[in-house]
Structure 1
Amino acid sequence: MSENTSGSSPADQPTRTIDGLDTHTRSRSAPGQHAPAPQTAGQATAAHGAGRKFSRVTEERWGYDPAEVDDFLDRVDAVLVTTAGDLRSAPGVGSRQVRERVFDRVQGGYESAPVDARLDELEDQLADREREAFIHEHGPERWEEHLELLGQTLLGRLNRPHGERFRQPSQRKQLGYSVADVDVLCDRITEHFRSDEDLDPSLVRTAVFRQAQAQRCYEEQQVDAFLDRVVELILALR
């Protein structure tokens, strides 16, 4: 997937309807099922971020491209050293961009789990900074309005009947996420929201779904887009 360089954060613009989104995230497919074909790349470079070290897979295995990872994390680090008021001075790097970022794979690259864990930490930090910057510029009332709109959008989909929460792939033989698996996660999210319990974003970030076809599956892109917004709301409510 290509990186989003629009420079906008969730708090900078009105929440879009889920049906209009076309967002990819790190794969939520079950291991060994529907895994994307790795892309060949040149020899990877060593990590150069200050104090940043990630383990590598063996040479015959595929991992995240170290050059891409290091470049992106350097850009995020540069944003985090700015003040909250200067947050928008670094376009293209915000919590949403971190959440949506995926990397090419190369032989002997970085182990994915430590990199993904670091991305989750950075997303949390950026979300906090974006909330502070938004409230400083627009006031707490506008922030509450933003959260209410986002919550209503998410609950509107969560309240739909099982098997009808998301679109099905346009082509009958196209693979998608198991309807049963996605609906189970949606039910858990709904229970948390209705009980006012704090929801751990890892419940959504680490979700894994089996692959299915035809009437038994949901379109992956739409599910991913929705779950991204769920994480956005969880972080905003902290």
Structure 2
Amino acid sequence: MTSDTTVEPAPFERTTGRTKGYDPASVDAFLEAARVAFEHDDSAELDAADVRHAAFRLVRRGYEIAAVDAALGRVEDAFAARERDRALSRAGARAWVGRSRKTGQEILDRLTRPHRSRFARVGWLHYGYRVDEVDLVADKIAHYLEAGEGVSVDQVRAVAFRMQRGGYREDQVDAVLDAVVEVMLAVG
């Protein structure tokens, strides 16, 4: 028996059993909006930061998280490259490099503070990111910014910290990691 309709394969593998993944409808809608925004160069509806901050609810039989995150990384890279090219054509290389260097120096100043004092802490009754883990990652990123030692954008995107009472405030750490990704993408 043949059918006139064809079924397109899902863009990502789905989770099985009790494992949850990203909501397929939300992912598909976001990726379609990203495609449209990217194809219409004059559109400013979506940028690299929007892609980096995309979040999806978790559902059973959802898309595999790692696969979607990898695809989002590639989409973010494409948006960032286009934004870099536009900024270079508008402001010139000197202004673009100057802005990226200034942001990089601000990050470096934060990350080279004394260990255990790089970010604000949550109260002792609350959980924040593990201080020792954040400090270790901060050291690696600082070495990258100072000497270009090997850290990739994907490594920064994928970093995850365990929680501890009285740890670093998540929002501050996440904001700095987002800024690191922006600088890394800006310099290509």
Q: When the two structures are superposed, what TM-score results if normalisation uses the length of structure 2?
A: 0.90
Instruction: Verify: 1:94 aligned to 2:53, yes or no.
Output: no
The aligned counterpart of 2:13 is 55
CA distance in 1, matches of 2:9, 2:88: 32
Deviation per CA, 1:34-72: give whole Å up to 9, x if none. xxxxxxxxxxxxxx9x98611111253321111110111
Contact 1:65–1:106 at 8 Å: present in 2 too? Answer: yes
CA deviation map 1:80-119 (0-9, x unaligned) = 2234xx2xx232x110011111111122111101000000
Give me the whole-angstrom Cα distance separating, in 2, the residues matched to 1:184 and 1:213.
18
| 1:192 pairs with one of 144, 150, 160 | 144
Distance 2:83 2:10 in 1: 24
Q: Which residue of 2 aligns with 1:229?
A: 179
Q: Relative contact order: is structure 1 or structure 2 higher (C-alpha 8 Å, sep ≥ 6)?
A: 1
Aligned position for 1:182: 134
Q: How do 1:1-238 and structure 2 match up within 5 A?
A: 53-58=11-16, 60-83=18-41, 86=42, 89-91=43-45, 93-169=46-122, 171-197=123-149, 199-214=151-166, 217-238=167-188
Residue 12 of structure 2 contacts residue 64 of structure 2 at CA under 8 Å; is this kept in 1? yes
AA paired with 1:191? H
**Aligned position for 1:9:** none
| Residues 140 and 151, structure 2, Cα contact 8 Å, conserved in 1 | no
| One-letter code aligned to 2:73 | D
Describe the shift of the 1:179–1:140 C-alpha distance in structure 2 as closer, same or farther (beyond 3 A): same
1:12 matched to which residue of 2?
Answer: none
Larger radius of gyration: 2
Contact 2:116 2:135 in 1 (8 A): yes
Give the distance between the partners of 1:51 and 1:81, measured in 2 at CA. 23
> Could you say what secondary structure the match of 1:106 adopts?
strand
CA separation of 1:198/1:180 partners in 2, compared to 1, >3 Å: closer, same or farther?
closer
Runs of 4+ in 1 over 6 A off after TM superposition: none
What residue ranges of structure 2 are gaps of 5+ in the alignment?
A: 1-6
TM-score (norm 1): 0.72
Q: Aligned partners of 2:19, 2:63: CA distance in 1, in Å?
A: 10
Distance 2:96 2:21 in 1: 39
Aligned residues: 182
Q: Alpha carbons of 1:198 and 1:79: their partners in 2 closer, same or farther (altered >3 Å)?
A: farther
Q: Give me the identity figure in percent.
A: 38
State the distance in 2 between where 1:90 and 1:147 align.
21
- Mapped contact 2:21–2:63 kept (Cα < 8 A): yes
Letter in 1 for 2:44: A
Q: Secondary structure at the match of 2:119?
A: coil
Residue of structure 2 equivalent to 1:36: none
